[in-house]
Amino acid sequence: MAKASKYLELADRLADAIREEYEPGDRFPTLMELAQAYDVAPNTVSRAVQVLKERGLLSGKAGGTTRVRVQPMQQVRTNTRYQIEKDMVLRPEEERRGTGVAELEHRVPVSSMYENLVDIDVVPAPADVAEALELAPGELVLRRVNTRRHRRGAGVGRSVSYMSHDLASRNPELFDPEREPWPGGALHQLHTVGIEVERIEDWVTASMPTDAEMEEQDIPPGVPVLRVRKVSYATSGSAVELTEIPLPADRVELRYTTPMRPWS
């Protein structure tokens, strides 16, 4: 009990120091530097630092550089935003540019992001994607990998979307990275190839992050990832676009509104 109290007490002292003496992104002292400064055993420091990583105050892999964590942007994801996006499809481009995921979920303009990258390529559809989009095994799809970072040193946010290559080929501009970020997003892209979306389904599961996700998205130890698979369906009933969105649970709130029809 005494040992547990000692490393937790040190964690609280270090947390106070982080708030008072450091800026987000600053390098944090090494275990040996902290052990000398606080006159405690390195093992005590190691456990205290682990606690602070779990609390989301520090980030960094064991054995590597530890830094004061750049706090992630909080995100509120609602199902009602899809109707807003659909209505926006028919609006002028200037309006569409200001109504995307960043604006609707993070409440900030995408232009304020530190990094906003889109990687576009053509690949064989992964088996589960081909099944969801009712494509033949190995059929080509247009894949978009969107990566955003709101501030230097922060973890990234990432999504991966897929559209049938045959469908996307109706509009060659969909393959042009200079068109990104696309004003109006996926719904407007589909509109340009003659598709009106009738409904969108979000399939949500949860799992622990991979090592790569923990590092890239700066996810604290013990925090799960909500995995949203967003599938858009045309008025014909066919699935026409699929997006995979991993959302670390420490920075997202899911809100779902279900209208209820009256009995009479």
**pLDDT tens for residues 186-201?**
999 999 999 999 999 9
Does the pTM exceed 0.75?
yes
Domain with CATH 1.10.10.10 in the chain: 2-68
Task: Using alpha carbons, select from 121, 241, 135 the residue that is nearest to residue 187.
Answer: 241
Q: What is the CATH number of domain 75-255?
A: 3.40.1410.10
Q: Which two tokens stand for residue 160?
A: 């991966």
The Cα 233–Cα 186 span in angstroms is: 12
Cα-based angle 232, 234, 238 (whole degrees, multiple of 5) = 85
**217 Cβ contact list (under 8 Å, min separation 6):** 155, 156, 157, 158, 209, 246, 248
Looking at residue 98, its pLDDT comes to 79
**21 Cβ contact list (under 8 Å, min separation 6):** none
Q: What is the CATH number of domain 2-68?
A: 1.10.10.10
Looking at residue 59, its pLDDT comes to 95
The Cα 26–Cα 183 span in angstroms is: 36
- Judge whether residue 4 has pLDDT over 70: no
pLDDT digits (tens, 9 = 90+) for 15-57: 999 999 999 999 999 999 999 999 999 999 999 999 999 999 9
Domain with CATH 3.40.1410.10 in the chain: 75-255
First to last CA, the chain: 64
Question: Is 160 in contact with 128 (CB distance < 8 Å)?
Answer: no
Average pLDDT, the chain: 93
Distances (CA, A) of 202 to 16, 65, 242, 254: 41, 38, 10, 11
The Cα 94–Cα 72 span in angstroms is: 28
* Cβ-count burial 50-78 (b if 16+ within 10 Å, e if not): ebbbeebbbbbeeeeebbbbbbbbebebe
Instruction: Give me the mean pLDDT over the 60-69 stretch.
Output: 90
- Judge whether residue 2 has pLDDT over 60: no
Looking at residue 10, its pLDDT comes to 96
Looking at residue 1, its pLDDT comes to 41
Q: Which helix (H) or strand (E) holds 73?
A: none
